[in-house]
Structure 1
Amino acid sequence: MKCKVLVAEDELIERKVLCKTLQKYLGDLILLFEARNGREAMELFEQEAPQLVILDIEMPGLTGLEVARRIRETDKNCGILFLTGYDKFAYARQAISVRALDYLLKPYKEQELIFAVEDAIRQVSSPVAHMARPRAEVPTLKEEVDDVRTAVIRSEMYAFIENHYREDISMQDAAAALRYSDAYFCKLFKQCFKVNFSTYLNEFRVQKARQLMTDSRLNLKDISAACGYSDANYFTKVFKRITGKTPSEYRLAAAEQAVKGE
């Protein structure tokens, strides 16, 4: 069954580009609905009961935050993903209470969007696994972080991924483990790594997979599992999106280069 996804964005061009991108990469997984503003988003939500909602935070009439709060009044498990301008990120502090799955900072890259939405779809497909977890007490958002502290935070984030990339982890897991609010963690991660958490995690896992592929004794299914992908088909899709080749094609090309001594 396809996942119902509602996109609410008041800027026509941005909404069309976003929906076209989602349809291009995830059309076989999703049933897409478009809303031009917050009020239309609420009407579509009541009519269609989508499992995932992508909301621009700043919209006329009802803002994305107001829509999210209303959704939470009737649906505790609906996945919520926010779109927000980097300079307006302070709004995301208010989003903690609605338990957003992720925050895409405009302008975002196409790959960031797809990885974030794919991750959200997996989470809403198993709501108990991620959304029902107890929340850690977290500090409030600070506006400025100096270079030294940023370096320390980057090291902590990298260490968490290095230690847990083999597991089924989400941005919320990392934020809770490092004792940050989801919104603050999202902002800091983007500052430190220039991409969002789900994109970086997938790129990290694929790099680990490429290293394992040099060992011909390991089959691709085992490599997939060793790098945190329980679904080998999804691993293949992610691997090809990042490298341009399927795992089999990549391994064959690497073997041919090794024979040639390149």
Structure 2
Amino acid sequence: MQRVLIVDDEPMIRKGFIKLVKQYDAALEVYSANNGHDAIQTMQHVSPDIVLTDIRMPKMDGLELSKTIHETKTNTSVVIISGYDDFHYAKQCISYGVKEYLLKPVTETELYPVLDKLLSLRKHTSVSLSLYEEWLKEAEEAIWTLDDCRLAELLERWKTTYAEEGVQVSQCQQLVSDGLDILLRRLQARGITIALPHNVVSVLSIHEGAEYFQNAIREIAKQIVDYRGGNQKKLFDEAIQYIDLHIKEDVSLENIAEKIGLTPAYFSHYFKKIAKESFVQYRMRKRIELARTLLEMPQYKVVDVGLEVGFPNYTYFHKVFKRMTGYSPTEYRTMMGIK
């Protein structure tokens, strides 16, 4: 049995949506809550397939509810229904995995196609939407970093999972359409608009659907290359520039990853692939290089150099410096002819 949860702090609006949903399919189990907090309580007892939620509500609003559902990685699709046509809201909704953003007043003309799409996808295929969401996150990062090898692996996984296991043509179309729509919106939120020339509805077979999806992904990557002026390492260069500029500070891998729009785990993988050393190794090497430069300047005291380049204390600085150069800081300074 499929379930729909309606969340709105206005009783009449809740009743109206309950009526609309039951008219759409009387067999659906329909639940309601008057704010996000109550919705989370309800979801501890039932697992809705779809949550229809307003944005502005007391205790917990629709955006916070969407974020909470997204972070719990449930298989629930969230649809925002709001009276506010605001790009700020829409942008946040994209980051929280919201499937649709509808503006009030909502009639069956707007609502029923959304229910058709989301419920039929669940009814007729065993596709895990939470796993598909994870795949999309990985694909977004591979596209954004122009990691061709990783992208090829992901596309092969997509083909194996969604185009060779009994998925119907209409379901494949929906997966392709939703996947591309989500990717394009997320890239737009990063500041780049991608144009795709064809319509996925025209595909006539699973093979065509998979081929269309792969070609569309490659076209997206190509447009990002063009956007960066053909420089595939521009994103890496931005990260290096930021690290070097803040080499003396306690800037973490998480800080850098957030700045360039990647998850920490993927940024760590991406950095090591390009730099041929880990983020920690790179930062340590740059700090020791800077320390050597400062030790060659008589005005700097040896005990102060470590702190100047970002080490928490002299003992740790002495240990790392000797391990990486073969000399203690004092021995290095003596070698430079400085007393």
TM-score (normalizing by structure 2): 0.42
Cα deviation code 1:37-78 (max 9, x no counterpart):
122111101111222211111111100111122223333322
The answer (yes or no) to whether the contact 2:121–2:171 under 8 Å persists in 1 is no
Distance 1:172 1:96 in 2: 12
Structure 1 segment 1-262 matched on structure 2, within 5 A:
2-28=1-27, 30-125=28-123, 126-128=127-129, 130-135=132-137, 136=140, 168-169=173-174, 172-176=178-182, 179-181=184-186
Distance 2:35 2:54 in 1: 9
Q: Which AA in structure 1 matches 2:45?
A: Q
Identify if the C-alpha distance between structure 1 residues 31 and 166 changes in structure 2 by more than 3 Å, giving closer, same or farther. closer
Q: Distance in 1 between matches of 2:111 and 2:187?
A: 17
Give 1:68's aligned amino acid: S
Q: 2-side partners of 1:87 and 1:18: how far apart? A: 20
Aligned CA-pair RMSD:
3.6
SS of alignment partner, residue 5 of structure 1: strand
Cα distance in structure 1, aligned partners of 2:7 and 2:97: 18
3-state SS of paired residue (2:136): coil
Q: 1:109 to 1:61 in 2, by over 3 A?
A: same
Paired residues of 1:78 and 1:124 also in contact (CA < 8 A): no
Moved more, 50-59 or 83-92: 83-92
Paired-residue identity, %: 26
Quote the Cα distance in structure 2 between the aligned partners of 1:121 and 1:134.
20
Aligned length: 166
CA-CA distance at 1:133 after TM superposition: 3.6
Which deviations, in whole Å up to 9, do the C-alpha atoms of 1:154-176 show, x marking residues without a partner? xxxxxxxxxx9895226533425
> Which residue of structure 1 lines up, in the alignment, with residue 320 of structure 2?
none
| AA at the equivalent of 1:122 | S
- Once the two structures are superposed, residues 6-40 of structure 1 have per-residue CA deviations (whole angstroms, 9 ceiling, x without a partner) of 11011222111111010011222x21101111221
> In structure 2, what residue type is equivalent to 1:18?
F
Deviation per CA, 1:182-236, whole angstroms, max 9, x where unpaired?
Answer: 998xxxxxxxxxxxxxxxx9xxx8xx9xxxxxxxxxxxxxxxx9699xxxxxxxx
Q: What SS does the corresponding residue of 1:82 show, helix, strand or coil?
A: strand
1:96 Cα offset (Å) = 2.1
How far does the alpha carbon of each residue in 1:81-109 deviate from its partner, in whole angstroms, 9 at most, with x for none?
Answer: 11122433421211223211111122233
Task: Give the secondary-structure state (helix, strand or coil) at the position aligned to 2:43.
Answer: helix
Change (3 A) 1:13 1:183: farther
The answer on whether the counterparts of 1:10 and 1:37 sit within 8 Å (CA) in structure 2 is yes
| Kept after mapping to 1: 8 A contact 2:94/2:185 | no
Shift of the 115–182 alpha-carbon distance from structure 1 to 2, 3 Å rule, reads: farther
Helix, strand or coil for the counterpart of 1:181?
Answer: helix
Which deviates more from structure 2 when the two are superposed, residues 60-69 or residues 90-99?
90-99
User: Does the 8 A contact of 2:33 with 2:42 survive in 1?
Assistant: yes
* Separation of aligned partners in 2, 1:92 and 1:176: 12
Distance in 1 between residues matched to 2:92 and 2:205, nearest whole Å: 34
Aligned residue in 2 for 1:145: none
Q: Is the 8 A contact 2:3 2:49 kept in 1?
A: yes
Please give the secondary structure, in 2, of the residue aligned with 1:103: strand
Contact 1:175 1:182 in 2 (8 A): no
Unaligned runs of 5+ in 2: 145-168, 190-198, 207-339
